[in-house]
Structure formats: structure tokens, C-alpha cells
Chain A
Amino acid sequence: MISASTISWPEFPVPEFTIPGLGPDSPVHDVPGEPVHWLILLPVAAALATIVLVRRSSRAAAWFNAGFAFLAVVVAAYLAYTVGQSGDAAQAGTIGTLPFGELSVPLELRIDRIQALIAVLVALIGFGVQVFARWYLWFDPRYRVFASTVSITTAGLLLLVVSDDVVLTLAGWQVLSWATFLLIGHSSTRDAVNRSASRTLIITRIADAALLLGLVALAVPAGTTSITGLVDFWTGVNPMTGVELGGGQQTVLAAGLILVVVGVLGRAAQFPFQDWLPDSIHAPTPATALLHSVTVVGAAAVVLISLLDVLPHSTAAVTMLAFAAAISTVGGALLAFVQPDLKRALAWSTTSQAGLVLGALVLAAQSADPLHGPDGAVAHLTAHGIGKALLFLTIGWLAVLTGGTAVVQLSGTARLYRSVRAPMAIGLLSVAGVPPTIGFLSAMLMIGDAERAMQPEAAGAATVAIIAAMGAAVPLTAAYCMRAWLVLSHRTEVHSTPGRELDDFFEESDVEAEAIGVEEAESAISSTARLVIVGLMIAAVLGGLLLFTPALRTDVEISLQLLVAAPLIMVCAAAAVWVASRGVRSRDAAARIPAPLALACERGLGMGRLYRIAVATPVLHMAHGVQWLDREVIDGYVRGTGHAAHLSGELIDRTDVSTSGTSTMVARINASDTAADGQASRPALPVGSSEQHGTRAIAGPADTADTSVSVDAAEAADPVDGSDVDRAVRFDIRVLVGAVVILLLLGVVF
């Protein structure tokens, strides 16, 4: 393991001055806490300040959230710089060791080269999203809540990134679930939004639970929740180093890793959990940008990266991860091609790209070479994050201009609104992995990983699946990007018909008005929001320079054949799409696909339905079953005891000589109630009666006796009838006496 040393703020020569009343011996210190703390605390502080301090002003909320997000970027960059300089990981404590008995819970943070890079990415995109959201939700009365939720999401993600403790990882991870739910459900007045939000919550809670159990299974046998500690534990006793794992421990390790993988798959929207992600496009654009660029992929990748050394110890877990990632890569790309809604297509593309990142991680885990870290995966994560953020923000901007994200609404709009051309083009190129964008470079790194993985004899089914999926992803990604671009950028009929050049006066003024309208619409975006898009564009183009910084290790060897072949395949795929789009009015190549198939693809191939039939309905049936059992069986016994108490109470009551008239009446009522069943053995309640029925049945004597007579009701019915109160009290006492009698019987039995 990399040895860790504590890195703190540098000692700036702050001039010491004395505060009156504190004496000369109390100097003003540097910023308290470690930079890692500030990385997490800044977004949290932004959210808290917004909730507590800001009443109505969206402006103040924006300053808090975007400002603190910017500071977080600065801290992340500083951390990346210092960690890169020192080459060691920085470590810091948090709230102190949790005294959890036998389990050691140090709750520490740790940031190394890779984590620092991811932290910078997360902080940057969080900042961009905050700035963009200020414009996008300008008129939204709930902007404050939205901005603070984005801040909380960023904080959770950053905590996850820098966590070196299973508990902190779980905390960050579960914060993300709830924050994602709130972000997706932002427009909570719409039913579709609520549906997709609650589905997201349920599926991510399943992922949470799997991760919880998996991490607990890994941490508890190790006796520590420190990730460094548990990795040391599990790798320290592996067969390679001579110490054998017991059979039981091997099983525990495998089970834990499989559960972690399940959690990761759920979070990264991989097969078979992918269904919630396409629905999440109901969220406001800035939220989807954050979600798809870093939350979904980043969180999953970070957890796997921290367990990368342990992962290969369970073939089952690796194989499962590899196959799910491969299926998602190919399936996501295929579905992305077909979607009639471009935002939804981008969502499917996220599933596909996340599959690539996870696949690259599998390759990294399997290469036994300790020098090769998860650099390929992290580079692709960065490329994907920047590209997806750019695309989602731009498509959100387009949606504002055109009123929707369906192909019909977006057809030709990149030609109409010239400002979105460049961001769209660069984003799509980067996703497709065309040189010289960052996407190309990350793709090259991954290909390098793949090549290396092909070399050793140990290339198992997992490696083959991943490499096949990567190979298939190259043309498929190029195809869906090309299709989207053709849809966006083709000449609309209005502009392309040559006859229109000779239009008469009115139509010309129409065109002019439209041109003015377009200009006004385009200029409606705030300059800051536009700046975010420009910044992301620059990052997408120049991001490849990361390879030449110490942030990434780039000692990969890529064969020239692959380097040439990959772009060739992309060009071929793009050309095929172009050919297919000829003759379609909207230039939508996907229109060639038969309608029923396209419709099925739009609905995610019926996975949602499958969930409903296979999971939701049985669970609901079970829940109703539990309610019935609870009411009729478990409570039935209790009520039966209640009857017994009544009866014995009544028997005592009858023997009471001083029974008043009213009381006999009560007794008669009760007797008539019970007479049908016979005094001695009152049967159990009719099974299947409704709850109210059941309740009335047992409380029958009680209710008849004091429908208007219970203490409370008696008070209400002023003037109070003394005898009524008396009767009510007498009834209660009867129950009490009965209970005591039964208890005595029980005592005798014991």
C-alpha cells in the first residue's frame, strides 16, 4: 500500500497580532481543519446557509451555493496539487473513532492521486451545475431547495470519493440515494415525476442495502471498518502470500464482494437495474447533468476503485460485474440509438458509458501488475463526466428554446440556433471518442488496458466479455452520436426548399421575425450559464492534456493497428448511419427501425413491466398477507385473551351482590352478545373479516356498554351522568380484574 502521511495547510507566515483580552500568547492560527474536511464541509455549509439564512432571495441562494462550490473546486485543486507533488496519500480524521465495541471504526478520510482527480472533477461539475441552475431555474420558486440539494449531492459524492472508512462510504452513498430522489422529484406536482422519483428511491435503496450488507460482510471479519485496513486484511491472507483463507472466510469474501457489486450495479444503472435512469430525465436539466455525469458513474467507480485489490479474489463477483457491464455497454448503446427522445437517448448512453468505466475497472483489477492502477477507467470517467455534463446542459438549453427534447421538436434546431452547434458537436464527438477530444484519449487508454489484459494467459470469460463489449461499443457509440447529430443539424424543409428563396414580402418578414426571435431566444441565456457551457467545451477539447500531467499514469502501449482501426470503425458506423438517414424527413436514422421494436425500446424493453410483475406485485401481495396475518392471527390471539378477560370479569361481576340495575343491563347486553357462542368457549373471530369488523367484534361488549359512556365521551356529553361514568369505570375495572385472573392462571402454569 502507498504509505500515507498527513498533509495540512502550508504554514503561511501569518503576521501574529493580539486580540484584546486574549493576551499576547494567543496567535491567530491558520485555517482550522484539513483541506479534505473543507472539501466536504463547504458544500454542506452552502446547503445549510441556504436553508437557514436565505428566506426568499434566489440571488443569495445562488451566491451561497455557487460560491461555496467554487471554493470546493479550489480546495480540490489544491489537494490534487499537493497529493501530486508529494506522491503520497493524504489522510485525516473526522469526528474521531466511533467507540463501537469490538469493531474499530476510525472514520478517516484518505485522498490519493486518483481520488484527487475524481474530487476535482466532481467539484468542477458541481460548480458548473450550480451556475447553470441559477439561470435554468430563474423563475422557479423552489430554486433555493434545488440549489441546496445539489450542494448536498456534491458533498455526499465528495465524501464518498475521499472516504477511507466503510461507514463514511455508506453515508455518502446513501445521501446520494436520497438526494437523487429529491432532485428527480423536484417538480413534485407532476405525476410522472413522482412516479419516477419513487421508483428511483426504491431501486437505489436496494442498491444501498446490497452495499451495506456487502461492506459489513467485508469489514466485520476484518475487525475494522477502515477500507485500507480491510483491504490489507483480505489481501494479506490471500493464497498468493501463503496464508490460506478458511473455506468460510472465502465464502464470506465472495458473498461480500458480490453484494458490493450488486450495489454498484444498482447505483450505476447497470443491467438489470438500469430501468430507473432513463426515467430520471424528468428531473430539471442541471440535476440530470450532475446525475449522469458524475453521481451515477462516479459513485459506483469510486467504491470499486477503493476495493480494487480485493475484487479479483472472487471470480464470481468479477464475472458478474463484467457480464453486467458488458450487457449494459452494448444494450445501452443500442437503446440509445433508438430513443425518440434525445434526452432519453443520452440517459441510455450513460448506462452504456458507465458499463465501459466498470469494464475498464475489471480489466484494471485483473491485471496483476501493481503499477497499473485504474487510470484508464478514471480517464474515461473524467471524459464521460465532462462530455455528459456538456451534452445535458446544452440539450436543456435547447429544450428551453424549442420546448422539448423529442426528436420531432429538436429536428434541425442546431442549424436554427447556431450557438448550440459547437457545444453539441464537441459533446457528441467526445462521447463518441473522436480525436482530439478527451473522449478519444480515454478510449485509447482503455484500449491499452484491454490490450494488456489480452496478453496474459489468465484472460478468463470476464476479460473476454469486457473486451468484446468495448469493441462493440466503438461503432455503436459512434452510431448513436451520429444519429443525434444528424437529427439536430440537418437543414429543415423551410430552409432547404429552393423555391423559398423567391418568397414574397410577407413570408420574408416572417423569416426576419423568426431570425430576430431566434437571436433573442438565444441571448436569453445568462452569460454565466453560457460560460459554463463554454468551459465544459474547452475541457472536453483540452482535457486530453491530463495525460501529460502526473494526475494520470499513461505508460500504456497501444498497437498502431488498434489506433488506426478504432477511428476507422467509427467512421464506417457513422457513414452507415448517414446512409440510413438519407430519405428520412427528420434525418432520423432510427426511423428505419420497425415501429413496434422502437416502441418497445423506448419502454426499456419491458423491464419496468417485468419489475412490476416479478417484484412489486408479489411484495404488495405479501404486504397484504402480512396485514391479514397480523390482524386475524396474531392479534386474534390477543383479542381471544381479551374475550377470556371479559368473561372472567363478567363472572366476577355477576357474583357481585350489589350489582345495580344499569350494570345488569350491561351484563345482559354482553350476555346477548356472547350467548350465541355459548358462555364457556367463545370462539375465535371470523377469519377474513375486515379490520373494523374485527375490532368491533372483540371490543363488542366494550363498545355496546360504553358507546356513549367511555370516560372521554362521558365528559363530552355534559351534563355528566354519574352512573354512566360509574359504569364505564366499572367496565374498565372488569377488564383489569379479568386480566389479573388470567395472569394468575399463567403464573400457576409457570
Chain B
Amino acid sequence: MDLPEPLWIILAVTLPFLCGVGLVVTDLTRRGALRNGVARGVACAASLLTGGALAVAVISDAEVDVEWIAALNVRFHLGIDDVSVPLVFTAAAAVFVACAIGRPVRQSRFPAAYHGLILIIGALGLTALLARDAVLLALALQAVVVALWFLARAASVEPAPDSTRFLLLAVAGSTLVLGGVLTLSGSAGTGDLDAWASPGVIGTGNQTTVAALILVGLATLIPLWPLHTWAPAVHAHASAGSSVLIAGVLATAAVHAVIRLVVAPLPHGLATVAPVLAAAAAIGVVWAGLAALVERDLARIVGWISIAHLSLIMLAISSGSATGLQVAILGTVAHAAVVVLLVVLVGDLREQWGSTDLATARAALREAAPRLGFAFVAAVAAATAVPGLAGFWTQVGSISAAWSPGPDRTEGWFRLFAVLAVVGLVVLGAVAARLMRDVWSGDRTRPEVVDLRVRGPHTMALLVPTVGVLLLVVVAIGVYPVAILDFTADAVDAIVGVLP
């Protein structure tokens, strides 16, 4: 190819954005012009092309850097480094999955706008992941939140969804992030993340305040206890596609932002607030486990599981060691894979059951739909950190990281948090036992559930290949995590090495 290198990285962001905007505009101006299948096809193709463009951009190490808002010294600066590669591809894959599973037939109003919105969110999320400028990152994150809120609300499975708390918390959170970032870039005179990461650019003065500000903001997006209440609620009412984007794009971008905006530039600030952050994370694991134990709604349980995993990841990050950071990156990819798989399966069950209420008597999945049951068992096993599946490494790694935290951290406290997190893991095991009993085993075979491979009117589009590929990914990460860890090792060492 004799195309200029920056083109690929621009393409990776603009292609889904333009396609998305095109789809939305077409749908809103000429209703019914695009049928559901066509819209889905276009969206899938666009997300695949995005992935391809990203791959080329990674190989060619593309970078683009143009001036954007001169007054604030904000540049439109995109680039890829080793830390962002796994996360960028995770987000791109999540966008593809969100497009591929499509929308159930009976909710097919504005199909093109729905798929267009997914693409736009994907483009914004990729921007947040690729951004090398802090303000650009924060703005993209905020845009993702607002777009996700539109999607979650417009494509809700409930007639009157209660999504206000999502909007409030997430917008508030991303605004705090923006405030923190603007403060920093004002004092440092540049928003360049690479410059921020090098020692001496950010003074040690008010690191603690800014780190706390940004972390509180990102904690709402991740989400972290006690700012998590929007997550189970949104997972319960949003369509499967929205949930996929929340787990695969928003959470990924938020964890990435923690690394970029806090861990790298503000090591002292992070060290000061780390005990609080770790405490929130450890409590979050137990809290999510206990809440899921008595939760009646399967979709909300998925939300809780996601919170538990992300809390483990934040526990690892707050430990401040290279181990923790490695685990956090691997764990974010694993979290996306596992939760997206769960969301897809639960979304399909919701279509078939009519709701996700576990108190209603359902057919035992193992009897009525053995293949779907198998996938469900694998997903739940992965969610409870069974070895050989993706979740295992998050569990082992974050506990190890918390057991011996980095410099400037109180060992005793972190060990206490490790114990708490382990208790949470036990509770998650109990949640798995409960899910198996409520959903998988039993002797009921009615009401009928359509198995994978059998196309029914209510099954999602491309469900079987999606589930198959996701299962493969979950197993691949579980068996061979070295692939991802090797990729990020040097960059992580560089980030942590900044610590004095």
C-alpha cells in the first residue's frame, strides 16, 4: 500500500463514525429505507473494516497529530502503543459483537439508527483508547457516555426505562475526569500523554487532589463501589447490544483511562489515594457477590459479575506494582470477553423467556437446550475464575498483586483487601452454584427454549458463530495469556518504572 500511514489510524476512527452517522441520518430522514438485516450487514462490515484498519495501523505504528483547539492547547493526537493494543482490539471486537447479534425482530424500529449508534459509540470509544492527548481522551469518554445513554434508552427492552441514574452518574463522572484533565494540562502546559508520563512534567504538588478527582470520575464509569448503582440497572433494561458496549467499550476505555491519566502521570497521587481505591474495590467484590447471591434478575446478576471483575482489576491497579498493571490489562480483556459472552447468552434467554426474572419457573437449560446450556456453563465458569478460562488470571493475579503492593503503600491494608477480595470470590462461587441450579439443572422442559444452531424467530442474529467465537476467545485467553502479557510487559515496566 502506498497510502500514508496516518490514514489507517484516522480511518479506524472515522470509518465507523461516518458509517454510523450515515445510518442514523438515513433512518431518521427516510424511515424504513434500510431494513434491519441490511443495516446490520453494513454495521458488521464497517466494524470489521475498522478492525482491519486498526490491525494495519498497529503494524505500521501509525500516528496522527494535528492541532485542534488551539486555545486550550488540545491536539487531535491519535497513536497506538503496546498498552493500548490489546484494549483497542477488545473494544473493536465488542463493537462487532454488538452489531452482529443485532436487534430482536420485534424491536426493530429504527434499525439503521440503532446500528449507526453502535458504530458511533465504537468510534468514540476507539478515539478514547487511541487518544494520545488527555483532553481528547476525556472528551471522547464523555461522548461515549452520552451516546451510550441514548442507545440504552432508545433501545431499551422496557417501555419506560429508568436510565436517569446512568446519565447522571456517568456524565458527572466524565465531567470530573474532564475537570481533572484540564487542571493538569493547564499546569503542565501540554495535554500530551507521553509528555505526562515522563517524570518531572507533572509536579508533585497537588497530585493527590487531581488523582482523587479523576479517579472518582472514572470510578463511576468503570463502575466501582459505591458509584456502581447504574450498572445492574442498565444491564437489566438495555438491549444486549448496549450491554455489550458497556462491558466491552466503556469499561475498557475507562480502565485504560485510569492507566493513562492516573497511573502514568500521577504516581504520587495514586499512592496516596490507593488505600481508599483498593478498599472500594475489595468491598466492591464482596458487595457485588452478595448482591448477586439474592438477585432475582439474571441480567442484573450479569451486571454484578461485571462489577466484581472490574473491582478485582482496580484492586490490581491500586497496588501500584507492575504485576498489578499487567493483571489489569489482561483482566480488562478477559472481563470484556467473559461479560460479553454472558450478556449475549442472557440476552438470547431474555428474548426466549420474555424476561430475565429468575423467580419464574423455566425449562432447565440442560434439558431444553443442551448447547445453549453448555455455553452458559462455560460462561458462568469463566465468570467464577475457573482455570483454563479467561477469568482465572484476574483472580490469581489481582490477589497476588494486592498481597505485595508497590512502594508507598501500606502492606497490611492491602493484605486485608486481598483477603476481602478472596471472600468475594467465594461468594461468587456460591453465585455460580445458584445460577447453575436456577438456570441450568432441573427437570422442567417447558416452556420451550430454542437451542443454539436452531434458528427461531426470537433468536438473535449470528448468535451461534458469535457465541462460538467468544467461547474460543475465552478459552484462548485462559490457556495462553502469555500472548497478551508479553505484548504489554515492556510498556508496563516503563510506566511503573517512573515511580521513584
Q: In the complex, what distance in Å separates the CA atom of A171 from the CA atom of B430?
A: 19
A189 at the interface (CB under 8 A from B): yes
By DSSP majority rule, is chain B's interface helix, strand, loop, or mixed? helix
Evaluate contact between B425 and A209: CB separation under 8 angstroms: yes
Q: In the complex, what distance in Å separates the CA atom of A153 from the CA atom of B97?
A: 33
- Which residues of chain B from 230 to 244 have a CB within 8 Å of any chain A CB? 230
| Known contacts A185-B441, A620-B293, A623-B290; A212/B422 CB under 8 A | yes
Q: Looking at the complex, which one of B229, B436, B496 makes contact with A185 (CB distance below 8 Å)?
A: B436
Q: Ordered nearest first, which 7 A-B pairs have the shortest CB separation?
A: A101-B322, A205-B429, A188-B441, A171-B387, A101-B323, A198-B433, A189-B443
> How would residues 175 to 188 of chain B score, 1 for a CB under 8 Å from any chain A CB and 0 otherwise?
11001000000000
Evaluate contact between B159 and A175: CB separation under 8 angstroms: no
Evaluate contact between B400 and A626: CB separation under 8 angstroms: no
| Known contacts A205-B429, A635-B229, A743-B172; A219/B400 CB under 8 A | yes
- Which residues of chain B from 460 to 494 have a CB within 8 Å of any chain A CB? 479-482, 485-486, 489, 492-493
- Which residues of chain B from 339 to 357 have a CB within 8 Å of any chain A CB? none
Q: Looking at the complex, which one of A189, A205, A641, A715 makes contact with B442 (CB distance below 8 Å)?
A: A189
| Known contacts A100-B485, A216-B403; A739/B323 CB under 8 A | no
Q: Can you list 12 pairs linking A and B with CB atoms under 8 Å apart?
A: A99-B486, A182-B377, A198-B433, A213-B418, A220-B403, A623-B291, A627-B294, A638-B229, A699-B160, A735-B167, A736-B171, A739-B167
Q: In the complex, what distance in Å separates the CA atom of A198 from the CA atom of B377?
A: 13
Evaluate contact between B293 and A619: CB separation under 8 angstroms: yes
Q: Looking at the complex, which one of B167, B179, B443 makes contact with A736 (CB distance below 8 Å)?
A: B167
| Known contacts A194-B441, A739-B168; A206/B482 CB under 8 A | no
Q: Which residue of A lies closest to B159 (CB)?
A: A713
Determine how close the nearest CB of chain A comes to the CB of B405; give it in whole angstroms: 10
| Known contacts A189-B442, A221-B404, A710-B159; A620/B109 CB under 8 A | no
Evaluate contact between B437 and A198: CB separation under 8 angstroms: yes
Which of the candidate stretches A115-123, A280-288, A328-336, A701-709 sits at the interface with the other chain? A701-709
- Which residues of chain B from 422 to 448 have a CB within 8 Å of any chain A CB? 422-423, 425-427, 429-430, 432-434, 436-437, 440-443
> How would residues 198 to 211 of chain A score, 1 for a CB under 8 Å from any chain B CB and 0 otherwise?
11011001101100
Evaluate contact between A100 and B326: CB separation under 8 angstroms: yes
Which of the candidate stretches B149-157, B190-198, B251-259 sits at the interface with the other chain? B149-157
Q: Looking at the complex, which one of A620, A642, A747 makes contact with B165 (CB distance below 8 Å)?
A: A642
- Which residues of chain B from 78 to 137 have a CB within 8 Å of any chain A CB? 109-110
| Known contacts A642-B164, A712-B159, A739-B168; A209/B327 CB under 8 A | no
Which of the candidate stretches B37-45, B59-67, B391-399 sits at the interface with the other chain? B391-399
Q: In the complex, what distance in Å separates the CA atom of A599 from the CA atom of B450?
A: 45
Q: In the complex, what distance in Å separates the CA atom of A102 from the CA atom of B155?
A: 45
A519 at the interface (CB under 8 A from B): no
Chain A residues near B226: list those with CB within 8 A: 634
Evaluate contact between B229 and A188: CB separation under 8 angstroms: no
> How would residues 360 to 391 of chain B score, 1 for a CB under 8 Å from any chain A CB and 0 otherwise?
00001011000000000100010011111000
Chain B residues near A189: list those with CB within 8 A: 364, 367, 441-443
A418 at the interface (CB under 8 A from B): no
Chain A residues near B6: list those with CB within 8 A: none
Chain B residues near A125: list those with CB within 8 A: none
Q: In the complex, what distance in Å separates the CA atom of A178 from the CA atom of B386?
A: 7
A506 at the interface (CB under 8 A from B): no
Determine how close the nearest CB of chain A comes to the CB of B70; give it in whole angstroms: 24
Evaluate contact between B427 and A619: CB separation under 8 angstroms: yes
B8 at the interface (CB under 8 A from A): no
Determine how close the nearest CB of chain B comes to the CB of A429; give it in whole angstroms: 39
Chain B residues near A191: list those with CB within 8 A: 442
A170 at the interface (CB under 8 A from B): yes
Q: Which residue of A lies closest to B480 (CB)?
A: A95
Q: Which residue of A lies closest to B381 (CB)?
A: A178
B52 at the interface (CB under 8 A from A): no
| Known contacts A220-B404, A642-B165; A213/B290 CB under 8 A | no
> How would residues 99 to 127 of chain A score, 1 for a CB under 8 Å from any chain B CB and 0 otherwise?
11111000000000000000000000000
B5 at the interface (CB under 8 A from A): no
Determine how close the nearest CB of chain B comes to the CB of A700; give it in whole angstroms: 10
The number of A-B residue pairs with CB atoms under 8 Å apart is 220
> How would residues 312 to 326 of chain A score, 1 for a CB under 8 Å from any chain B CB and 0 otherwise?
000000000000000
Evaluate contact between B155 and A750: CB separation under 8 angstroms: no
Evaluate contact between B388 and A623: CB separation under 8 angstroms: no
> How would residues 316 to 333 of chain B score, 1 for a CB under 8 Å from any chain A CB and 0 otherwise?
000001111111000000
Chain A residues near B392: list those with CB within 8 A: 171, 174
| Known contacts A188-B440, A198-B433; A707/B160 CB under 8 A | yes
Determine how close the nearest CB of chain A comes to the CB of B440; give it in whole angstroms: 7
Q: Which residue of B lies closest to A643 (CB)?
A: B164
Chain B residues near A703: list those with CB within 8 A: 160
Determine how close the nearest CB of chain A comes to the CB of B481; give it in whole angstroms: 7
Q: How many residues of B contact A (CB 8 A)?
A: 84
Chain A residues near B384: list those with CB within 8 A: 205
Q: Looking at the complex, which one of B156, B165, B481 makes contact with A98 (CB distance below 8 Å)?
A: B481
A378 at the interface (CB under 8 A from B): no
Evaluate contact between B400 and A220: CB separation under 8 angstroms: yes
> How would residues 215 to 239 of chain B score, 1 for a CB under 8 Å from any chain A CB and 0 otherwise?
0000000000010011000000000
B419 at the interface (CB under 8 A from A): yes
By DSSP majority rule, is chain A's interface helix, strand, loop, or mixed? helix
Chain B residues near A194: list those with CB within 8 A: 436-437, 441-442
Q: Looking at the complex, which one of B109, B175, B399 makes contact with A213 (CB distance below 8 Å)?
A: B399
Q: Which residue of B lies closest to A256 (CB)?
A: B403
B169 at the interface (CB under 8 A from A): yes
| Known contacts A216-B418, A645-B168; A100/B400 CB under 8 A | yes
Q: Which residue of B lies closest to A624 (CB)?
A: B294
B22 at the interface (CB under 8 A from A): no
Evaluate contact between A98 and B485: CB separation under 8 angstroms: yes
Chain B residues near A736: list those with CB within 8 A: 167, 171
Q: Which residue of B lies closest to A206 (CB)?
A: B426
Q: In the complex, what distance in Å separates the CA atom of A627 from the CA atom of B93?
A: 33
- Which residues of chain A from 387 to 423 have a CB within 8 Å of any chain B CB? none
Determine how close the nearest CB of chain B comes to the CB of A545; give it in whole angstroms: 37
Evaluate contact between A99 and B489: CB separation under 8 angstroms: yes
Q: Looking at the complex, which one of B162, B213, B432 makes contact with A201 (CB distance below 8 Å)?
A: B432
Chain B residues near A198: list those with CB within 8 A: 433-434, 436-437
A711 at the interface (CB under 8 A from B): yes
Q: In the complex, what distance in Å separates the CA atom of A225 from the CA atom of B400?
A: 10
Q: In the complex, what distance in Å separates the CA atom of A102 from the CA atom of B489?
A: 11
Evaluate contact between A202 and B327: CB separation under 8 angstroms: no
A96 at the interface (CB under 8 A from B): yes
Evaluate contact between B400 and A711: CB separation under 8 angstroms: no
Evaluate contact between A212 and B399: CB separation under 8 angstroms: yes
Q: In the complex, what distance in Å separates the CA atom of A496 from the CA atom of B485?
A: 73
- Which residues of chain A from 159 to 215 have a CB within 8 Å of any chain B CB? 167, 170-172, 174-175, 177-178, 181-182, 185, 188-191, 193-194, 197-199, 201-202, 205-206, 208-209, 212-213
Chain B residues near A735: list those with CB within 8 A: 164, 167-168
Q: In the complex, what distance in Å separates the CA atom of A706 from the CA atom of B158?
A: 13
Given contacts A100-B400, A205-B429, A645-B168, 13 further A-B contacts (CB under 8 A): A100-B485, A101-B321, A171-B387, A174-B385, A182-B377, A201-B433, A205-B426, A213-B418, A623-B293, A626-B291, A642-B164, A739-B167, A740-B171
Q: In the complex, what distance in Å separates the CA atom of A645 from the CA atom of B168?
A: 9
| Known contacts A219-B400, A630-B287; A102/B322 CB under 8 A | yes
Q: In the complex, what distance in Å separates the CA atom of A206 from the CA atom of B485?
A: 29
Evaluate contact between B479 and A102: CB separation under 8 angstroms: no
Chain B residues near A712: list those with CB within 8 A: 109, 153-156, 159
A669 at the interface (CB under 8 A from B): no
Which one of A190, A212, A620, A716 has the greatest number of beta carbons of chain B within 10 Å? Answer: A212
Q: Looking at the complex, which one of B171, B290, B437, B482 makes contact with A622 (CB distance below 8 Å)?
A: B290
Q: Which residue of B lies closest to A201 (CB)?
A: B433
B295 at the interface (CB under 8 A from A): yes
| Known contacts A178-B386, A219-B400, A634-B229; A702/B160 CB under 8 A | yes
